[in-house]
Structure 1
Amino acid sequence: MKRALRITHFLPQVWCAIAMLLFVIAHVESSFATKIAKSGQSVSENDPFPPAHLSGTSVTLERGSYRLPTRPEQLPDQPFRYTVPQVTRTTMSTGLRVFYYPSRDLPIDYFIVVIKAGTRYDPAEKVGLADLTARVVRAGGAGNRTGDEVDAELEKLGAELSVSVERDYIRFQLFTLSENSEKALQIFRDVLMAPRFEEEKFTTEKNLALERLRRQNDDPAEVSRREFRKIVYGTTHPLARTPTRESLASISLDDLKSFYRAYYHPASAWVGVVHHRELRETSRTLEQFFLDWRGEQVPHLPQIVEETPNSPSKVGRVYFSCKPGAQMQIRMGHFGRRRDPADQPVVDILNNLFGTGGFSSRLMKVVRTQHGFAYGVGGGVFEDDPVGLFVAVASTKTTNTTAALEAMRSVIVSMLEEKPSPAELETAKRDVLYTFATRMDNPREIVWQWLLHDFYGFPPEYLLHYPDRVGAVTADDVFACARRYIKPKEIRCYLVGACDALRESLAAEYSIEEWPLTNLADETTTH
């Protein structure tokens, strides 16, 4: 009891001390901020991320030559200007292309290797091979380490090595503490150049691939995306085909090794580096680690031939897959455009006006705001090689399906009949530029954007000139672009949801056809 009384007796002094400490901390922070604001601190023009500090003349933050409002109502009504940060590009003696950006703010280094060995390069009879190869290269051991030893060593170093597989490429990414950079890079080098292809890891990854296949119909939105590509491109086209149980079963460990030898080659690889050391030292380190990576031969990359577009039997038809649920997934469109930097800025603005601009896009204004048919709706003209897709996508209540379809069609037609207003065009330009800037808001993303555009064959000056080219786009440019790429008469639709209740109403309005889904969970076909 006495001890409790003594503690209670000292509580006022304790609280007083805490309050005094908080006051001192606040005073120090305020004084420090004021000193920074008054110091006229100089910032290197070569650093696109100088530290932000309080302005001495207004309630704003300053970063270099920019004043950043602290509240939305302080946003200036003036043109948005953005200086594109640049990287340094070099080519190693092995042909490996390197994109470098210095790491100044954090003691973390970042390495990325992109190899032109994505899923489009799967053999027709072994779809899933590219994905499985990349996963086993990462997980199946490297050099004198097993796969588990690789993971344990990376964990000790505070490093993380991951792989992702896309349609056009595979991407390895290494994050590591700067102090352990060389040790982590040595492991990364072994993974890329000396994979062990452990049979146990191969079996594990193959089983995981089969499990992903079994669950592929769980998400209606993903079903819509995947199956619509098959409707447009055809089920066997490299831009649409997906693994099956049979194709995965046919893949052997030797197939992985053969695919690795054919495609994992420095001549078809790009490296991005965010490093704490200067370029000269970084280049010397990379040469040291990757000098022996030469590959057996320059890989032969098969060309994808565009199939006969817009088969008359498919145009104008509404396809549907029955799947229980309260929402109907709607996807409509046709072939889009070939990847081409010449008109990309105009296409970006067109897409923003049509469907990627959020609440300012026409699809959102009509389908959601005006009619309330969908919470989320979007779309655009998208590129690929040899040709991408034009799509409009929404999710709506099943009972609103027909009305939502017609509303989406009306917006598509409006793009060919109504030029963007001055306000629409200005909003779209600002949004496209803001989006462009946020894609390069940290060193890792800066390197990635430069590397990715080089990967796709864009000229080196494309990113530098992009803001000016966006600013020069006119309403006539956008209108002409829409008429070039949007073809309402070539649209086909695909619905995923509880379609049984809509069969009669859909059949009265459209030519309909059921698109069956294979349910791999129980090896049946859903009609």
Structure 2
Amino acid sequence: MFAASGIVPRGLSEVTHMTAPATTTDAPTLTPAGLKTSERGSRASMVQKVVSKGGIEAWLVEDYAVPLVAVEFAFKGGASQDPAGKPGAANLLAGLIDEGAGPYDAEAFHRALDEDAIELSFSADRDILSGRLQTLSRNSSQAFSLLRLAVNEARLEAEPFERVLSQIAAGLKSEANEPDYVAGRTFREKAFPGHPYGLPVRGDLSALPTLTRGDLVELRGKIFARDTLKIAVVGAIDAATLAGHLDDVFGPLPQASHIAPVADALLSGEGDRFVVDIDVPQSTIRFGRQGLARMDPDFIASMVVNHVLGGGVFSARLFREVREKRGLAYSVYSQLITYDHGSMLYGGTSTKNERAAESMTVIAGEIASLSEQGPTEEELEKAKKYLIGSYALRFDTSTKIASQLLHLQTDGFGVDYLDERNRLIAAVTMEDAKRAAKRLFGDAKLLVAVAGRPEGM
């Protein structure tokens, strides 16, 4: 999932550029400025599609400037596949995969990682369960060997099970009365009632004790399979060597996953406000409304107009109106969030209790203004220029590049997006922006969740 990333709708970018595997001598390199473009100005041509003998595919960018290899991979599923009534299962599973595997117990597995300075971690999001590996190239064989054990033979033993479960519970307890956590959780519960997207990824204190090792084994069996697997690799490794590792690590997995279908979700509660009483001097506010799907033809334009609204820069309307002109809050933002089965405009701020109502009035007013009138010519051009110019910052390290390439794959897009993205933003016209603003902001009614003691709300 990308938050406010501007992923191009699939229908606008269907042709995937493919290149022959590069050799060590002609491999493209990464520069401090980001993913270097080829002589014809193409980032996409730098990415090789490597397919192993066993049919496992990965996107590879070779880089021998630094002797590192970064790997990111993901399976579809994630927290949306948690057992009924047991949120947090996928997150717990992710926390246990590297806690002992094959012949190694948890302590021995971590010692093996540490001895060769190998970084390995797993995480769960709403739609995916992902893994990340980073290693020195000279230790890559050992790193891929340990990864193979974790993916295929994770022990999920009692001691680490209880330890990791306790760590998650301790984190939830510490956050139970934190306004940011309470406002965010309340918003999601009201936005997606009765849907997996409305449940907490890390679970809750009432459900965590009901989770069992059997739940995790069953969940792993549903998710870990080759048909939804996506892989991105960046660094000092050639295509032939990588292909061998792909079969070794992922070849033993079953071909087909057994993930349950997830219903498409529309955001609920637009126009409603919910307040959770917490005795603090400031109110933490989360607001939102239905967004556009990542495959919608107007998504690129909606990303541009959202940047005008609250894209995290000084020129954004919310920053200017809420912070600079009125001093209501130190920070305020809006973003577009897209899931596989839902999307939303989402934003937030924190302000004094006595000014919470005023803050929401200003925010809603700016959303209504953009819906009715669209951005100005100056706002549109500034937003496009910023979004185009800042894109290279997502590719200035090998781990960032691998992460971006993985997200493109899990969201269903071709490598050609690397070239198309900025062209599509540049092509957004005022007519496009006004149409997208009308669709995105609509009647300006917002679902609002507040943690604190807001006056007038």
TM range (shorter): 0.7 to 0.9
The AA in structure 2 aligned to 1:49 is T
Residue 70 of structure 1: aligned partner: none
Q: Contact 1:354–1:380 (CA<8 Å) still a contact in 2?
A: no
Identify the match of residue 91 of structure 1 among 27, 51, 57: 51
Q: Give the one of 477, 488, 501 matched to 2:432.
A: 477
Question: Residue 351 of structure 1 contacts residue 357 of structure 1 at CA under 8 Å; is this kept in 2?
Answer: no
Establish whether residue 438 from structure 1 lines up as the match of residue 393 from structure 2.
yes
Q: Would the aligned equivalents of 2:288 and 2:448 in 1 still touch at CA under 8 Å? A: yes
Higher RCO, 1 vs 2 (CA within 8 Å, ≥6 residues apart) = 2
User: What letter matches 1:245 in structure 2?
Assistant: L
Aligned to 1:152: 111
Match of residue 354 from structure 2: 399
Give the secondary-structure state (helix, strand or coil) at the position aligned to 2:438. Answer: helix
Higher Cα radius of gyration: 1
Aligned equivalents of 1:195 and 1:64: distance in 2? 40
Q: Distance in 2 between matches of 1:291 and 1:433?
A: 36
SS of residue matched to 1:360: coil
Q: Per the alignment, in what secondary structure is the counterpart of residue 120 of structure 1? A: helix
Provide Cα deviations, 1:17-67, integer angstroms capped at 9, x if missing partner.
xxxxxxxxxxxxxxxxxxxxxxxxxxx994452799xxxxxxxxxx9999x
Report the RMSD for the aligned CA atoms in angstroms.
Answer: 2.6
Gap change, CA 1:65 and 1:182, over 3 Å in 2: closer
Once the two structures are superposed, what CA deviation does each residue of 1:69-102 show, in whole Å capped at 9, x if it has no partner?
xxxxxxxxxxxx9853531122335453311111
Do structure 1's residue 348 and structure 2's residue 303 form an aligned pair? yes
Q: 1:226: how far off?
A: 1.7
**More deviation in 409-418 or 103-112?**
103-112
1:376-455 maps to which residues of 2 (within 5 A)? 376-455=331-410
Please state how far the C-alpha of 1:435 moved relative to its aligned partner.
2.9
Matched, 1:120 2:80: yes
Partner of 1:517: none
Q: Is the 8 A contact 1:357 1:431 kept in 2?
A: no
* C-alpha separation in 2, matches of 1:316 and 1:469: 33
User: Residues 405, 248 of structure 1: CA spacing in aligned structure 2 closer, same or farther, 3 A cutoff?
Assistant: same
CA distance, structure 2, for counterparts of residue 65 and residue 92 of structure 1? 25
**Aligned position for 1:252:** 212
| Inter-partner Cα distance in structure 1 for 2:250 and 2:316 | 50
Aligned amino acid, residue 338 of structure 1: A
**3-state SS in 2 of match to 1:273:** strand
Picking from 303, 317, 333, the partner of 2:288 is 333
Q: TM-score, normalised by structure 1?
A: 0.76
| Whole-angstrom distance in 2 between the partners of 1:168 and 1:157 | 32
| Matched residue, 1:166 | 125
1:273 maps onto 2:233 in alignment: yes
Q: Distance in 2 between matches of 1:171 and 1:307?
A: 23
Is 1:223 aligned with 2:178? no
Percentage of pairs with the same residue: 25
CA distance in structure 2 between the partners assigned to 1:191 and 1:65 by the alignment:
37
What does residue 522 of structure 1 align with? none
- Matched residue SS, 1:268: coil
Deviation, structure 1 residue 457: 1.0
Q: 2:274 aligns with which of 319, 322, 327?
A: 319
Give the Cα separation in 1 of the matches to 2:168 and 2:287. 29
- Mean Cα deviation higher: 145-154 or 373-382: 373-382
1:299 to 251, 257, 266: 257
Amino acid at match of 2:284: Q
CA distance in 2, matches of 1:204, 1:137: 13
Q: How far is 1:277 from its partner?
A: 2.9
Q: What amino acid is the match of 2:31?
A: F
Deviation at 1:230, TM superposition (A): 0.9
TM-score w.r.t. structure 2 length?
0.87
**Counterparts in 2 of 1:506-517, with a 5 A limit?**
506=457
SS of residue matched to 2:356:
helix
User: Are 1:361 and 2:316 matched, yes or no?
Assistant: yes
Superposed CA offset, 1:203-226 (max 9, x none): 111222222222232431222122
Query: CA separation of 1:173/1:392 partners in 2, compared to 1, >3 Å: closer, same or farther?
Result: closer
The corresponding residue for 1:182 is 141
Deviation at 1:306, TM superposition (A): 3.7
Aligned to 1:519: none
3-state SS of paired residue (2:87): coil
- Are 1:368 and 1:375, in contact at CA under 8 Å, matched by a contact in 2? yes
Paired positions, count: 428
Q: Displacement of 1:427 after TM fit?
A: 0.9
